[in-house]
Chain A
Amino acid sequence: MKKDNPADKPTVFIVDDDEPVRDSLKMLMRSVGLSAETFSGAAEFLEAYDPDRPGCLVLDIRMPGMSGMELQEKLNEIHAILPIIFITGHGDVPMAVKAIQYGAADFIQKPFRDQDLLDRINKAIEQDASNRAQLLETRDIEERLSNLTPREKEVLELIVDGRPNKVIAADLEVSQRTVEIHRARVMDKMRASSLAHLVRMVMRLRNPG
């Protein structure tokens, strides 16, 4: 039997201090083929947290010790991107607003319909996959950019600003031929298939997401 690599398959991480709730959520996930892991508290989850594992976090707000909101803060501090879906039996509007403003993907009140929770979980998992793909792409572009010399970076900035070679040559006080050489190297090192592609890559870094 082929063993799935846990780093690739999305996992629903369930953090709730109430054991029957944890178990029933885990069963619900499994019933639709989602892999799930349960934690009885926020600290326990934090200890096991691996930023490279995709999926989403289903998090109870009120728990003894570290609350769900406190866990969210801690995850924000370490720039975690795992989407959080809060579940609560005693939520209020300000609490929900704060959770979403602090970056939670969703907030759902008990009792909820199983399908409603599953829909939100699937949406969060999709969002996570897309965020991770974007992050990978951004890192890739950053790596290509780090191979440019300071002069090539200057030329890149001017190209992206739409300046023709002639103007770049005058700005940098070099010959047009030199600019052409720099330009060719920039395109090569950035693995840009066209000027539009190059501009898109630089814009991605300027406006992530």
Chain B
Amino acid sequence: MDRQTEIPQIGPAVCVIESDPGMNLQLGKLLAYLDSPIIHYQSAESFLAESEGIEVGCILADGDQLGEKSPEFIAQLSQRGLSGATIIIARQANIDDAVKALQQGIADYIEIPQPDRLLLAKIRQVISRTVSASGLRTH
């Protein structure tokens, strides 16, 4: 298994899909400000295979890493009712990818780098929307 998780899960988790160690470190520092469990996944495939049963508050996925697989991945998230909880972050952001992903129903598409405060606010917003839409509880 290539994910590291804090067990038991208390409240909806932020699932980070990122294989780059540098990015993971940066995101880890940023997400420590949140009051949510953080679960790291190395790839979209490992998230899909291993996230069953997890209360998801927000999915933070690296768009550069997803590349051409992005539409297929978002379609699978939609089937699980999770596309609205998804934020794609990308260094190589482009308008067409952003538009396609949003048309598929993701919550946000963010070109990075961005100020920490802004990213955190957007993640918090998605968590609170996911919680109120699904009746999940925060701790």
Residues of A within 8 A of B (CB): 91-94, 96-97, 100-101, 106-107, 109
With both beta carbons as reference points, the residue of chain A lying nearest to B103 in the complex is identified as A100
Q: Decide if A107 touches B108 in the complex (CB within 8 Å).
A: no
Residues of B within 8 A of A (CB): 93-96, 98-99, 102-103, 108-111
Residue picked from B95, B96, B111, most chain A C-beta under 10 Å: B95
Report A-chain residues with C-beta under 8 Å of the C-beta of B96: 109
Report A-chain residues with C-beta under 8 Å of the C-beta of B102: 97, 100-101
Contact of A94 among B94, B99, B103, B111 (CB under 8 A): B111
Once A93-B109, A93-B111, A94-B111 are accepted as A-B contacts, the answer to whether A100 and B95 lie under 8 Å apart by CB is no
Min CB gap A193→B, angstroms: 31
Q: Decide if A93 touches B108 in the complex (CB within 8 Å).
A: no
Report B-chain residues with C-beta under 8 Å of the C-beta of A92: 95
Q: Decide if A109 touches B95 in the complex (CB within 8 Å).
A: yes
Report A-chain residues with C-beta under 8 Å of the C-beta of B99: 96, 100, 106-107
A-B contact pairs, 11 of them (CB 8 A): A93-B94, A93-B111, A94-B111, A97-B98, A97-B102, A97-B108, A97-B110, A100-B98, A100-B102, A101-B102, A109-B96
Inter-chain contact total with CB atoms closer than 8 Å: 29
* Distance in angstroms between the alpha carbons of A91 and B111 in the assembled complex: 14
* Distance in angstroms between the alpha carbons of A107 and B98 in the assembled complex: 10
With both beta carbons as reference points, the residue of chain B lying nearest to A104 in the complex is identified as B99
Residue picked from B96, B102, B111, most chain A C-beta under 10 Å: B102
* Distance in angstroms between the alpha carbons of A109 and B95 in the assembled complex: 8
Report A-chain residues with C-beta under 8 Å of the C-beta of B111: 93-94
With both beta carbons as reference points, the residue of chain A lying nearest to B94 in the complex is identified as A93
Q: Decide if A96 touches B108 in the complex (CB within 8 Å).
A: no
Report A-chain residues with C-beta under 8 Å of the C-beta of B95: 91-93, 96, 107, 109
* Distance in angstroms between the alpha carbons of A109 and B99 in the assembled complex: 11
Min CB gap A175→B, angstroms: 38
Report A-chain residues with C-beta under 8 Å of the C-beta of B94: 93
Report B-chain residues with C-beta under 8 Å of the C-beta of A100: 98-99, 102-103
Min CB gap B32→A, angstroms: 26
Min CB gap A58→B, angstroms: 15
Residue picked from B96, B98, B108, B110, most chain A C-beta under 10 Å: B98
Min CB gap B44→A, angstroms: 21
